[in-house]
Amino acid sequence: MFDRPTGNDAAVLVSLDFGSPGYADSLEELHHLATTAGARVVAVVEGRRAKPDAALFVGSGKAEELLDTLNAHEAKLAIFNHELSPAQQRNLEKMLECRVVDRTGLILDIFAQRAKSHEGKLQVELAQLEHLSTRLIRGWTHLERQKGGIGMRGGPGETQLELDRRMIRQRVKLLKEKLEKLRQQRGQQRRSRRRSGVVSVSLVGYTNAGKSTLFNRLTQAGAYAADQLFATLDTTSRKLYIPNCGQIVLSDTVGFIRELPHTLVDAFGATLEEAAQADLLLHVVDVASPAREEQVMEVNRVLGEIGAQQVPQILVLNKIDSAGMGPGVERDEYGKIHKVWASARDGEGMDLIRQAIAERFPANELAQQAALPDNNLEAFSE
């Protein structure tokens, strides 16, 4: 149903600088997103503006430049580093005679390619339909106005539109019901884990920070880690024994990104809830990234949005090998470790992370007689 950049789709990136900080990082990130989605970036068209143009987002001069660039490279895809209104997208597609994808559409596309589990697929479909439905409904209003008026109502065209719209609404309702059931199942499993006194720890962080690599290091599991954005979509949980603490459940989760589309935050509610219900968050940061501080803020903002701001955090400053740093810790005012410098790739600082977890849950060992049966986790992992 969705236009998807496949294989080696030649694409031109379009990015406007509105003077906000982090512009260069966001453009670099768009590049990474585009290649992750399978596009081949042939050119970048940039500009500066005070605010977006209502009709085309970019000004008409810039739109001409974009058209020339697309033609010069025989590219049929323009990817915008911004959220476009349905009207802007339509106007641009008409003028450029090519496919136009905005940032949300691009992220949705990557999610659609990545979703593996039943739940993940349902969540992506819901997000896509919700993104699509605003576009369709608003996109159709001008058609209806043409058709409307006395004596001109009805007809097969309008019936078809109504039908499509109704089908989308029904599908959205069905998806929401299915997801709600899965959410309740997750809740039940969580409660039974809690009853058996098992501590749950969730890895959260910006996409590509190294969460899955750390998950694999700590659990020796084979979670998919790659230099791609949104390599992980489905929450995977594993049991893990921590010395001086006992058994915990560690969960690897979907990464966050700036301007994470709202449709996705909503649709992925059940998956993200895992983080909100955790006893502790390991917030993984790519310490070698120049944008790390902004990324930490963005992750904390999304955590707030999903109701996870109260869950205690340990900051894991990962990739010290790339930053020429050594492993180490920083303690908070109560003497507890709240920052760990580590390298998940090289395995440095792993003991410090285990120690930091053990410090938080020293009494956890008492609860270990109630060992967790293996099958209790099956539903969580791939």
Q: Which residues of this chain interact with ligand GTP, rule CB under 6 A?
A: 205, 207-213, 225-227, 229-232, 255, 318-319, 321-322, 343-345
Could you tell me if 285 and 318 are in contact, meaning their C-beta atoms sit under 8 angstroms apart? Answer: yes
212 near Mg ion, rule: CB under 5 A: yes
Task: Round to whole Å and give the CA distance between 98 and 297.
Answer: 36
CB of 5 or CB of 210, closer to ligand GTP: 210
CB of 78 or CB of 127, closer to ligand GTP: 127
271 near Mg ion, rule: CB under 5 A: no
Smallest distance, ligand GTP to C-beta of residue 352, A: 14
Smallest distance, ligand GTP to C-beta of residue 3, A: 23
Q: Are strands 236-242 and 246-252 parallel, antiparallel or unpaired?
A: antiparallel
235 near Mg ion, rule: CB under 5 A: no
Question: What does 5 bind: Mg ion, ligand GTP, none (CB cut-off 5 to 8 Å by kind)?
Answer: none
CB of 143 or CB of 226, closer to ligand GTP: 226
272 near Mg ion, rule: CB under 5 A: no
Smallest distance, ligand GTP to C-beta of residue 227, A: 3
Smallest distance, ligand GTP to C-beta of residue 211, A: 4
CB of 101 or CB of 316, closer to ligand GTP: 316
Stretch that binds Mg ion, among 61-69, 134-142, 226-234, 297-305 (CB under 5 A): 226-234
Smallest distance, ligand GTP to C-beta of residue 9, A: 21
Question: What does 227 bind: Mg ion, ligand GTP, none (CB cut-off 5 to 8 Å by kind)?
Answer: ligand GTP
231 near Mg ion, rule: CB under 5 A: yes
Smallest distance, ligand GTP to C-beta of residue 321, A: 5
Binding site for Mg ion (CB under 5 A): 211-212, 231-232
